[in-house]
Chains A and B, each alone.
Chain A
Amino acid sequence: MRRVAITGMGIVSPIGNNCEEFFSNLAAGRSGIRRMSSDFADQLSIKIAAEADFEAETYFSKKTARTMDRVSQFAMVAAAQAWQDAALELPGEEKRRAGVYLGTGMGGARTLEDSYVQLLKQNVRRLHPLTVVMVMNNAAASYISMAHGLKGPCLTFSTACSSSSVAIGEAFRLIKHGYADVMLAGGTESLLTYGIFKSWESIGTLALEAEDASTSCKPFSKDRTGFVLGEGAAILVLESMDRAKKRGARIYGELVGYGSTADADHITKPSVEGQANTMEAALEEAGIGTDAVDYINAHGTATVANDIVETQAIKKVFGQRAYEIPISSTKSMHGHLLGAAGAVELVASVLALKHQTVPPTMNLTMPDPECDLDYVPGKARTGLDLKTVMSNSFAFGGTNAVLIVKKHE
């Protein structure tokens, strides 16, 4: 069994398109949530989103900007950053033992929706010839494998809001068990479209707009009303510890545990048992006790149901220790990136280790008696001595994933 190091990270997010900017905004409690810029906002009852400040033309040729869905563009930019951050060089031989695992909830749904509008509303005779490759869920992972010449496993996981945590966990195990040496793993999502907004509007989990739109998402607060849809991508470079050490790579941390479970209960309702099982499975793989966890990046969607269930699940696993662990939901700032959420939040957790700073849960101004743990409200905590962090991802469909990272010493 081999150890797995995190040696590079890249991000495109509503609060910054590189890791440093992303984390400095998190630590400062700055939100990327605002009134949407899209013209269809007029037709929505909820008009807020966490949009990435991202123009394809800044990064890509005219052709790529036009023929790659935004979801793949995010992933390509995040992967290039991660690659560079890790200072990776892979000779030909090694490329066959390097791969890409990505998570996405709905892949190229944006292109699909555009296509339907053209067909059904504008009555076009033909769709763009690249529609199929723009829509397919595995496009982002494939483009990354092509860009970096990675010839090992290239898979796409789709488990709604836990997609990217699953992708990272599975990539971790691939290296751990010797099937690959280097993996680019993470997730990407770009779903800020009219049809998708309407769908979320109907299921009733979106946050209502607050007077100051940037404060609309209020995890663990009594007055919480739900999450805010966000977009972006985060990709990490996972590498066998031996390889990373041998080449003198900068090691952000060691991925030590992954829990993967299903609630087998309800298609949307979260389960205390399911969430607790997942955290326990991750702790077990990590070979650590509950005392060892110093920070939890919560799934923390700010829906009424999740925050209570997650609080109860943490208590079930950690007992009295639950009250001593700082827990935060960074979704209060970057929104809910759905299939990319787990990767973005793992990056936040790893950067918390690096900077020894726990980012806050913003907008938690009204304590909820049913959410009575330490959620680090309003202000980051600095100068800590964090050694082990946990990141939780739970999903519609009940596929849960939890990741644990240890400081490298």
Chain B
Amino acid sequence: MATTLERIKKLFLENFDLPEERLQPQATIESIGLDSLDKIEFMFALEKEFDIKIPDREVKLDSIQDMVTVIERLVAEQHVSQEQRAQ
């Protein structure tokens, strides 16, 4: 199965015309040439891809590594709670 990082990279490439080598874990939204509206739009794409809800505030998502960390945490929290609810 693809890692979180791989899935994020794939999502970037599907949504924007970017050279893949720019997508390093330490790269930030700004450093890969995207603006604030692009960032909001990408958050939306991440929510769909990972079936999570990213809280509107207080989440640090500057770099690709931040995204991996936050998404893995949110997936663990939100998917577990969904399973618990299902039970």
Known: A126-B44, A128-B44, A129-B44. A62 touches B37 (CB 8 A): no
In the assembly, what is the distance between CA of A166 and CA of B48, in Å? 43
Q: Judge whether A63 and B17 touch: CB under 8 Å.
A: yes
Q: Which residues of A contact B38 (CB under 8 A)?
A: 63
In the assembly, what is the distance between CA of A130 and CA of B36, in Å? 11
In the assembly, what is the distance between CA of A129 and CA of B17, in Å? 19
Q: Judge whether B15 and A125 touch: CB under 8 Å.
A: no
Q: Judge whether A62 and B40 touch: CB under 8 Å.
A: no
In the assembly, what is the distance between CA of A279 and CA of B13, in Å? 54
Known: A128-B44, A129-B40, A130-B37. A61 touches B17 (CB 8 A): yes
The bracket for how many chain B residues form the interface is 10 to 19
Q: Which residues of B contact A62 (CB under 8 A)?
A: 14-17
Q: Which residues of B contact A66 (CB under 8 A)?
A: 15
Kindly state whether residue A67 has any CB partner on chain B within 8 Å.
yes
Q: Judge whether A129 and B41 touch: CB under 8 Å.
A: yes
In the assembly, what is the distance between CA of A362 and CA of B38, in Å? 47
Interface SS, A side:
loop
Q: Judge whether B17 and A126 touch: CB under 8 Å.
A: no
Q: Which residues of A contact B14 (CB under 8 A)?
A: 62
Task: Give the Cβ gap from B38 to chain A, nearest Cβ, in Å.
Answer: 7
- Write the chain A residue with the least CB distance to B16: A63
Q: Which residues of B contact A61 (CB under 8 A)?
A: 16-17
- Write the chain A residue with the least CB distance to B47: A126
Task: Give the Cβ gap from A253 to chain B, nearest Cβ, in Å.
Answer: 40
Task: Give the Cβ gap from A69 to chain B, nearest Cβ, in Å.
Answer: 15
Partner of A128, one of B16, B17, B41, B53: B41
In the assembly, what is the distance between CA of A283 and CA of B19, in Å? 57
Q: Which residues of B contact A63 (CB under 8 A)?
A: 15-17, 38
In the assembly, what is the distance between CA of A130 and CA of B43, in Å? 12
Q: Which residues of B contact A128 (CB under 8 A)?
A: 41, 44
In the assembly, what is the distance between CA of A133 and CA of B40, in Å? 13
Q: Which residues of A contact B16 (CB under 8 A)?
A: 61-63
List residues of A (109-130) whose CB comes within 8 Å of B's CBs. Answer: 125-126, 128-130
- Write the chain B residue with the least CB distance to A128: B44
In the assembly, what is the distance between CA of A225 and CA of B40, in Å? 48
Q: Which residues of B contact A126 (CB under 8 A)?
A: 44, 47
- Write the chain A residue with the least CB distance to B44: A129
- Write the chain A residue with the least CB distance to B53: A125
Q: Which residues of B contact A125 (CB under 8 A)?
A: 53
Task: Give the Cβ gap from B50 to chain A, nearest Cβ, in Å.
Answer: 14
- Write the chain B residue with the least CB distance to A125: B53
Q: Judge whether B15 and A130 touch: CB under 8 Å.
A: no
- Write the chain B residue with the least CB distance to A129: B40
Contact with B along A56-75 (1 / 0, CB 8 A): 00000111001100000000
Task: Give the Cβ gap from B23 to chain A, nearest Cβ, in Å.
Answer: 15
Q: Judge whether B17 and A67 touch: CB under 8 Å.
A: no
Contact with A along B28-69 (1 / 0, CB 8 A): 000000000110110110010000010000000000000000
In the assembly, what is the distance between CA of A125 and CA of B53, in Å? 9
Q: Which residues of A contact B43 (CB under 8 A)?
A: 129
In the assembly, what is the distance between CA of A66 and CA of B53, in Å? 22
List residues of A (100-149) whose CB comes within 8 Å of B's CBs. Answer: 125-126, 128-130, 133
Which A residues form the contact surface with B (CB < 8 A)? 61-63, 66-67, 125-126, 128-130, 133
A-B contact pairs, 7 of them (CB 8 A): A61-B17, A63-B16, A63-B17, A126-B44, A128-B44, A129-B40, A130-B40
Beyond known contacts A61-B17, A62-B17: 18 more, CB 8 A cutoff: A61-B16, A62-B14, A62-B15, A62-B16, A63-B16, A63-B17, A63-B38, A67-B41, A125-B53, A126-B44, A128-B41, A128-B44, A129-B37, A129-B41, A130-B37, A130-B40, A130-B41, A133-B37
Which 7 pairs show the lowest CB-CB distances between chains A and B?
Answer: A129-B40, A61-B17, A129-B41, A129-B44, A63-B16, A62-B17, A130-B41
Which B residues form the contact surface with A (CB < 8 A)? 14-17, 37-38, 40-41, 43-44, 47, 53
